[in-house]
Amino acid sequence: MARRPTIIDVARLAGVSKATVARVINGEQELVRLETRERVLEAAAQLGYERNAVAGSLRTNQTNMIALSIPDITNPFWTVVARGAQDTLERYGFATVTVNSDWSREREQQYLRLVRRNRFDGLIINPAAVSNDELKDLRIPVVTLGGGENYPDFDAVGSDTEQGVDDILTYLLELGHRRIGLIAGQSRRGKAHTRYHNYLTFHARNHLPMDDRLVYTTDFTDESGYEAMTHLLRLESPPTTVFAANDMLAIGALKAAHALGWSVPEDVSIVGMDDIYAAAVMLPPLTTVAKPKYEIGGKAAELLIQALRGERRSGPEHIKLPCELIKRGTTAAPRIADPIEKN
C-alpha cells in the first residue's frame, strides 16, 4: 500500500520549511508571501496531500465536526431538517455526523458518549429523553430542535405548531365541519402543548361540544393512521373530517378511507401536518400545514455557529418559525349538514 504524503514531503518538494507549509495549510496565509504560498499549494496538489484533521484538532482543540441527533430518520420531515442543518454548516466549513435516536434513551446516551469521545465541536439535537443538565455536562454549544420548553439553558428552533393547528381547524370550521375527528400522535416528551391540547382549546373557544370518541391516540406512522381512521369511520356517528397530527398519520388515514369505500373529500375530509413530499403526490393531494423544515435546520445551525464563534446574545433564544396552511384536494364542505347544526 502506497504511503500517504506528509507535510514533510510537501515541504521538500516546495523547497520550504515544514513550518511554512503548516502556516499555509492551516490558513495562516497572511504570514507567507504569495509566491511561496502558491508553491506550497502546487506541491500539495501534486502529491495529493490532505491535511490531517485529527492532528490539527489536537493543536486547535477544534475538530470542525458537528453532531446532529434526530429521532426518526425514516420520517421525511426529519430528513429535510437534517439537510437544512448540513447545508448551512458546510458553508462554514463544518462536517455533520447525523445519528438516529429512534426515541430511545439508551441510543441517545450512546450518541452523547460518542460526542464526548470524538470531541465534536457542537451538537444539534431533537431530544428524546436527555435532560437539560445532561446537555450542560457536554460543555459544548448545543441547540435543541423543537419548542425548548424543558431546555431553558439552550437555544431552540421549532415551528409555531399552535398557530398551525389553529389555522387548519379554523379552515375546517369555515367549511362547515363541526364534528372534527383527531388522530393524535403519542407525545414522547411530555410537552406542555400537544395537538390534543390545541384541539381542546379550539373546541372551547368556538363553543363546539367535545366528543372524546372522536379522538384516537397512537404512534406517528401511516400504519397507525390506517388503524385509527378505520376505528373512527366505523363509529355510529363518525366525524365529517379528521385532523391527523402529522402527514404520515394522514396518509394512513387516506388509505383506510379508500379501503372502506369512503370518497375523500366528498364523504370525509382529511388534513395532516408537516407537508412532507408524499403529501403533494397522494390521490387526492393532501391538505396540510407546512412546517418550515429546511429553515428549522438552517436556523439551528446558524445559532450553533454563533455560539462557536462566541457571538452570544443576552441569553438563549427559543425561536418558533411560522407554519403555512396548504389547501389541496382532501378537504371540502361536508356533504350533509352536521347533526349538531340541525339541533
In angstroms, the CA 221 to CA 73 distance is 13
Of 268, 261, 245, which is closest to residue 186 (Cα–Cα)? Answer: 245
Q: Is 185 helix (H, G, I), strand (E, B) or coil?
A: strand
pLDDT for residue 227 = 97
Grid cell digits, residue 217:
391516540
For residues 23 and 47, is the Cβ–Cβ distance under 8 A?
A: no
Q: Is 338 helix (H, G, I), strand (E, B) or coil?
A: coil
Q: Which residues contact 28 (CB under 8 A, 6 or more apart)?
A: none
Domain 65-158+293-321 carries which CATH code? 3.40.50.2300
Grid cell digits, residue 88:
448551512
The answer to whether 65-158+293-321 and 161-290+326-342 have equal CATH topology is yes
What are the boundaries of each domain within the chain?
7-51, 65-158+293-321, 161-290+326-342
pLDDT for residue 313 = 67
Grid cell digits, residue 74:
425514516
How many separate helices (H) and strands (E) can be counted in the chain? 14, 12
In angstroms, the CA 113 to CA 99 distance is 12
Look-up of cell digits 376505528: 231
Side-chain-facing half-sphere of 177: CA atoms under 13 Å: 29
Fold of 161-290+326-342: Rossmann fold (3.40.50)
Tell me how far CA of residue 333 lies from CA of 235, 249, 264, 275, in angstroms. 20, 22, 11, 22
pLDDT for residue 143 = 97
For residues 132 and 151, is the Cβ–Cβ distance under 8 A?
A: yes
Determine the length of the chain: 343
pLDDT for residue 163 = 95
pTM of the model as a whole: 0.79
Burial 81-103 (b: 16+ CB within 10 A, else e): bbbbbbebbeeeebebebbbbeb
Residue 275 zone, left/alpha/beta (φ > 0; ψ -120 to 50; rest): left
For residues 288 and 275, is the Cβ–Cβ distance under 8 A?
A: yes
Sequential pLDDT tens for the chain (343 residues):
457 788 888 889 889 988 888 888 766 666 788 888 888 888 888 888 776 554 444 454 567 899 999 998 888 999 999 999 999 999 988 999 999 999 899 999 999 998 988 889 999 999 989 999 999 999 999 999 998 889 999 999 999 999 999 999 999 999 999 999 999 987 665 554 588 999 999 999 999 999 999 999 999 899 999 999 999 999 999 999 999 999 999 999 999 999 999 999 999 999 999 999 999 999 999 999 999 999 999 999 999 999 998 886 678 999 999 999 999 999 999 987 655 443 3
